[in-house]
Amino acid sequence: MKNERKREEKRREEREKRENQRQRDREEIDTETQIQKDLIMLQELLIHQPKEPIQFMLEHLERDNDMVPRIFILGPPASGKTTIAMWLCKHLNASLITLENLIWNKLSGLAIKALKIYEKEEAIPDFLLLKLLLERMSKEECISKGWILDGIPETREQALMIQTSGISPRHVVVLTAPDTVLIERNLGKRVDPSNGEVYHTTFDWPSEPEVQNRLKVPLGISEEETVKRLMMYHRNIIRILPSYPKILKVISSDQPCVDVFYQALTYVQSQHRSNAPFTPKILLCGPTGSGKSLQAALLAQKYGIINVCCGQLLKECVASNSSIGELIRPYFQKKMSVPDQIIMKVLSSRLKKQDCICYGWVLHGFPQDLDQATLLSSEGFVPNRVFFLNVPYDSVIERLTLRRTDPTTGERYHLMYKPPPTMEIQERLMQHPGDREEKVKIKIDFFYRNSSLLEDFFDNVIYVNGDQDPYTVFEYIESGIIMPLPTKVSQ
């Protein structure tokens, strides 16, 4: 009986602990949400600068639409941006805004004026386009449900004009694909004149013969016309992107449409790092070939934090011919390990810079053993998130030993995942000496000899299965960043 009572008491204590943890989690989420809303209100005040700030804030609170979608979808012709925008609208219950539905509004005098210009195949003036956007976004459906803007802005001038008018997206998705793929897609387009449905001769051909027979080739999709539009797009997009440095995600559309959609959906449902209640100090650990560099780059792009690669820092020091670079050079020339104290001096100098202090950092390539971890901590650089990427031995060997480089073009290939397109290229490919199996095995063995001591040294470790699609791995890492601090958690 006593043992049973003890077990019951222990189970009750565990239930109470779980409930308390859930309550703390809810409170933290509520706090973070409120911080985000306060920051959004501050942003609106700075943009609009109302004469009556108190009244403006009261109206803003009454609308209660801080978290509704406000998304730009950009991309070249035939990248699929309209399809992705439509799917996002259906999923998020937001309003779709395109140039076409802006001008085909018979109830708007501005739209009628714009339609006359459009029918003459002339460009709609930017000032008129802005008025149409402001008119549409003032509608109740856009205010309460949010909006997704498809294909606008097309130029930097439009982007700046839209910004100064107070229209500010929370997420910008840019689709990209090779021009050859886009031209092929465009050439295969066919339109059903009875309902406007779009088909493709390769990817989406209707099964009904009746529908097949009535399909028409749309105007403006010839190879020559498509190339002109692509050249115009490429000239403009590089000037547009700097307008959205912290809210931008580039997604390859040269993959199944469903995959593109889910990547876009994951991004637009996320909150930006600038709204987070703490500054990320992230450490990525894992054997060579586990994907640390890629994940660090994705984190830096998504959250605007600084990507700190220890190996790259040392190379930059040597290339700069600085005094510390001259100390490192002999070790590089003799292919010897650089002493920990020198590495720490270089690393400390980088992590103390203002951008790392303000925005946070993601570090990889250091520490590799307990002594280095102790040295990092003694300098005051304590990560608040530590991820260990676990990848099976055979997978690492496969990832690295099959890598090749074309010495003529510098293009990188992988004999399994990205094989060379021709036999001529394959015959001249070269393997980096460090990718030979015996060298890779030494690096893997070195990591696993020290990994258990590193895991014990850090308190806030999260284990991630790195033998998955890179974006799946990224989502697991991201969940570990935005959730409360874990303790020895596995993903």
pLDDT value for 361: 93
> How far apart (Å, rounded) are the C-alpha atoms in residues 185 and 217?
13
Beta strand spans in 277-370 (E): 281-285, 306-309, 361-364
pLDDT value for 277: 45
Least confident of 2-6, 282-286, 356-360, 373-377: 2-6
DSSP annotation string for 399-449? HHHTEEE-TTT--EEETTTB--SSHHHHHH-B--GGGSHHHHHHHHHHHHH
Least confident of 186-200, 217-231, 305-319: 186-200
Least confident of 66-75, 148-157, 280-289: 66-75
- Per the model's pLDDT, the better-predicted residue between 22 and 416 turns out to be 416
pLDDT for residue 65 is more than 60: no
Q: Cα-Cα-Cα-Cα dihedral of 275, 280, 285, 288, to 10°?
A: 70
pLDDT value for 62: 59
Are 97 and 150 a contacting pair, CB within 8 Å?
A: yes
pLDDT value for 209: 86
pLDDT value for 39: 57
Q: What angle do CA 445, 447, 453 make, to 5 degrees?
A: 120
What number is the average pLDDT over the span 185-207? 77
Whether this model's pTM surpasses 0.75? no
Q: In a 10 Å sphere around its CB, with 0-12 CB exposed, 13-18 middle and 19+ buried, how is residue 321 labelled?
A: exposed
Name residue 462's beta-bridge partners: 387, 489
Phi, psi of 362, deg, nearest 5: -125, 120
How many residues does the structure list for the chain?
491
Q: Which amino acid is it at 294?
A: L
Q: How confident is the model at residue 80 (pLDDT cuts 50, 70, 90)?
A: confident
What number is the average pLDDT over the span 452-468? 86
| Most confident option among 169-178, 415-424, 432-441, 443-452 | 169-178
Q: What angle do CA 312, 313, 314 make, to 5 degrees?
A: 90
pLDDT value for 252: 92
Are 121 and 99 a contacting pair, CB within 8 Å?
A: no
What share of the chain has pLDDT > 70, as a percent? 84
Q: In whole numbers, what is the pLDDT of the chain averaged over residues?
A: 82
Reply yes or no: is the peptide bond before residue 367 cis, omega within 30 of 0: yes
All structural domains of the chain, each given as residue ranges with its CATH number in brackets, are 66-176+224-268 (3.40.50.300), 273-490 (3.40.50.300)
pLDDT value for 269: 82
pLDDT for residue 260 is more than 60: yes
pLDDT value for 35: 55
Q: Cα-Cα-Cα-Cα dihedral of 186, 187, 190, 191, to 10°?
A: 50
pLDDT for residue 34 is more than 60: no
pLDDT for residue 475 is more than 50: yes
State the CB neighbour count (10 A cutoff) for residue 55: 10
pLDDT value for 489: 42
Q: How confident is the model at residue 214 (pLDDT cuts 50, 70, 90)?
A: confident
What number is the average pLDDT over the span 90-116? 87
pLDDT value for 427: 85
pLDDT value for 224: 85
Query: Strand 189-191 relative to strand 198-200: parallel, antiparallel, unpaired?
Result: antiparallel
The three-state secondary structure class of 386 is strand
Radius of gyration of the chain (CA): 27
Name residue 385's beta-bridge partners: 282
**In 3D, which of 70, 66, 57, 59 has the Cα closest to residue 35?**
66
Q: How confident is the model at residue 67 (pLDDT cuts 50, 70, 90)?
A: low
pLDDT value for 18: 63
Q: What angle do CA 459, 465, 279 make, to 5 degrees?
A: 45
Structure tokens at 210: 């009746």
Least confident of 134-148, 296-310, 476-490: 476-490
What share of the chain has pLDDT > 90, as a percent? 17
- Per-residue pLDDT of 368-410, as tens digits, reads 998 999 999 888 888 988 999 988 888 888 888 888 888 888 8
Q: How confident is the model at residue 61 (pLDDT cuts 50, 70, 90)?
A: low
